[in-house]
Structure 1
């Protein structure tokens, strides 16, 4: 059974709304933030709670970018295994980042509780699913590394994985009890609302056109007006576009698409992911699976559902659903949407130093919720206190990614080919 899918589920189901009029006059602040997603809103909240004057400029609406198009998995750590992070960054820097991001879900859950954010928070863990025997070996190594570093992760066999997921398609799984799922747009909006309550100013429909350093102040031009601030945070991640600025973040933009079914029946909800865990698999072109509060099954995968390969990605989602959950074969897709991921060549997030008291945070490589919350919080503190040592990664004066257009096309072509087959 098929039906025409209609837009972003998170926009259709969010219970949180933000009132943020466009910028209509010049303004001054201690900190100006460009981008109203996880990183920008968390930074605004932290800075406002510290007593700083804060202005957030969002070109579209809060959570318009990756934060409102996210799968909604609150993961601990990065896509890379911990030892790979250490190998690339060095022992001290690598273990520092691994430790901070291991605790990222704890920070997310605490902010949700403290600010009373209605975002369907489900801290019931995640399941990294082995799609093959080789995938299971990969998970065994990840489990070994996690236990070595003190993480409370558990390795499940195929039988326990089938019991938890309601699917016999997987060879096993790695369970992380620290993690879980949220309604990502509601979380982004909830952070923005909390920042407003703390005294921050937020302006939607305020696209920044120019950023420059004049004297000892940053001057940001948007909507024909000027915001002057002592500190600056660029938090656009994969949605950086059209800003005239001397130092620009570089990354490979990778598309990710999602398809949400109609709500499952109560018997099926009791059978499929009844514990509320969020899932993704070990395939090179990965897939994700989760349910929402209404009992919809949400299937995701690499690919641009708004591009030339849209029909192929949609056809893949239907086949994938039938393969993993044959009991849902006739359940219609009601929502379809896609977003961009900012990928770095080494899969390590970056903090780019734009000038005095100015950073750009980007490159979460598909792990936006936990890292975005950590990086935003710590970037705000560093900008206000001048303590770069507290940042998750050392800021760099320049970061170069080669052949970004070619790599983006490569990822999309690979996804189209894989999904077509």
Structure 2
């Protein structure tokens, strides 16, 4: 997008086209204006429109431009935080409420894909959290214990079964989560956009919000080309926020994340690497993720930005790591490369913000945007429709607080990933 092959890489190359849209022009009115064309914005717009609300969706660039079109494509349940730790972070009521909501979130994603016939390479075979060494095995065993007592369909696999499913002997075990799966993330976003347009939402891309003001009981949302008058505003811009809600971006520390996609492996190799098409990632602090796409490409990623010296460092590391993990692949060439930003909050949990009366939004997905973004969009719709009170939301209202030394931390993460990958996988 925007003539940058490293912004969306393989996903832009293989996703179906989005619906035809154009920038906002003139003055329009709606019940709700949604700002942001990612999973949260699209899901909220869809659920509102299906309930009979009139909705205008404004996207600054293109559908799926932010994290929705750049991520790995893992439909994960829950967050990074251990399940038992959430009540301590959020209180018993919100902690358990959030666990239940996000634990079931992949189900909503799959239901929407089925309902609207979204072509996004959906795989329902679960995910594998791969344990690196004894400490990694201990981590996934504890995570499995905490989810199992809540009835989640999770299983710890031994090293032999993990090797059979992954195609590599590198791991001490893996946590199989059958709630989860994989999809083509930009295709999912574009498919939601088609469903949104079909439901009657007016979608305007190339329509960056530059100002908002209150006029009586209405909000006036302005772009360079027009204005929308609405009763409610949903802020669904998250880590790529600019303009009136730039503070949402500033609340988060950006962690860069890249992906490389190989050429299609072919039938024989495809049977030896993730033959069940589970999505996978490991327990390292500077983690790696890998999954297959529908055409048999292996998508392999980690922390880092493909710019300046990082491009050569991370590409060299990726080649070494693949040879070590999957020696059967040899020196298989890469077909695509891209990277984006993960917005990390100080406790690795999302936020609910009430920016002003009737101006609300969820943000801070910490690298888990597909299922949480989708389900939080539905929650926002339910809140606006009066079905979910503020007291019954899955998160409490929180103030926006910019973390200390945010810029320094972001520089450190980018440089640290380069340092780790410069020496990584050399033995």
Question: What's the TM-score once normalised by structure 1's chain length?
Answer: 0.96
2:86 equivalent in structure 1: 85
C-alpha contact 1:249 1:352 (8 A) present in aligned 2? no
The Cα offsets for residues 347-401 of structure 1, whole Å up to 9 and x where unpaired, read as 1100111111111221000000010011111012212327223422122243442
C-alpha contact 1:375 1:391 (8 A) present in aligned 2? no
C-alpha contact 1:353 1:398 (8 A) present in aligned 2? no
Matched, 1:418 2:420: yes
1:409 equivalent in structure 2: 411
2:395 equivalent in structure 1: 393
Aligned-partner Cα distance in 2 for 1:17–1:32? 20
Measured after TM superposition, the shift of residue 246 of structure 1 is: 8.6
Change (3 A) 1:249 1:374: farther
Q: What is the total number of aligned residue pairs between the two structures? A: 418
Note the residue ranges of structure 2 that are not aligned, 5 or more in a row.
Answer: none
The residue correspondences of 1:6-405 to structure 2 (distance < 5 A) are 8-243=9-244, 250-385=251-386, 387-405=389-407
C-alpha contact 1:6 1:334 (8 A) present in aligned 2? no
SS of 1:309's partner is helix
Measured after TM superposition, the shift of residue 247 of structure 1 is: 8.0
| Mean CA deviation greater in 88-97 or 120-129 | 88-97
The Cα offsets for residues 202-260 of structure 1, whole Å up to 9 and x where unpaired, read as 00111111123333222211123211111001111111123377987611111110000
Measured after TM superposition, the shift of residue 335 of structure 1 is: 0.2
Change (3 A) 1:337 1:248: closer
Note the residue ranges of structure 1 that are not aligned, 5 or more in a row.
Answer: none
| Mean CA deviation greater in 175-184 or 399-408 | 399-408
Aligned-partner Cα distance in 1 for 2:421–2:383? 43
Aligned-partner Cα distance in 2 for 1:99–1:412? 34
| Mean CA deviation greater in 321-330 or 93-102 | 321-330
Measured after TM superposition, the shift of residue 93 of structure 1 is: 1.1
Change (3 A) 1:266 1:394: same
SS of 1:354's partner is strand
SS of 2:108's partner is helix
C-alpha contact 1:378 1:390 (8 A) present in aligned 2? no
| Mean CA deviation greater in 247-256 or 230-239 | 247-256
Aligned-partner Cα distance in 2 for 1:333–1:5? 13
Aligned-partner Cα distance in 2 for 1:245–1:318? 37
Measured after TM superposition, the shift of residue 71 of structure 1 is: 0.4
Measured after TM superposition, the shift of residue 85 of structure 1 is: 1.5
Change (3 A) 1:131 1:223: same
Question: What's the TM-score once normalised by structure 2's chain length?
Answer: 0.94
The Cα offsets for residues 88-147 of structure 1, whole Å up to 9 and x where unpaired, read as 112221111011000001111111111111111101100000122211111111111111
Aligned-partner Cα distance in 2 for 1:225–1:6? 28
C-alpha contact 2:18 2:193 (8 A) present in aligned 1? no
The Cα offsets for residues 16-43 of structure 1, whole Å up to 9 and x where unpaired, read as 4221111111111111111100000001
| Mean CA deviation greater in 410-419 or 133-142 | 410-419
Aligned-partner Cα distance in 2 for 1:55–1:307? 39
Aligned-partner Cα distance in 2 for 1:25–1:213? 18
Aligned-partner Cα distance in 1 for 2:136–2:189? 33
The Cα offsets for residues 26-68 of structure 1, whole Å up to 9 and x where unpaired, read as 1111111111000000010011011111011111110011000
SS of 1:26's partner is strand
C-alpha contact 2:247 2:400 (8 A) present in aligned 1? no
Change (3 A) 1:179 1:248: closer
SS of 2:385's partner is helix
C-alpha RMSD of the superposition: 1.7
Measured after TM superposition, the shift of residue 7 of structure 1 is: 6.0
Measured after TM superposition, the shift of residue 319 of structure 1 is: 1.2
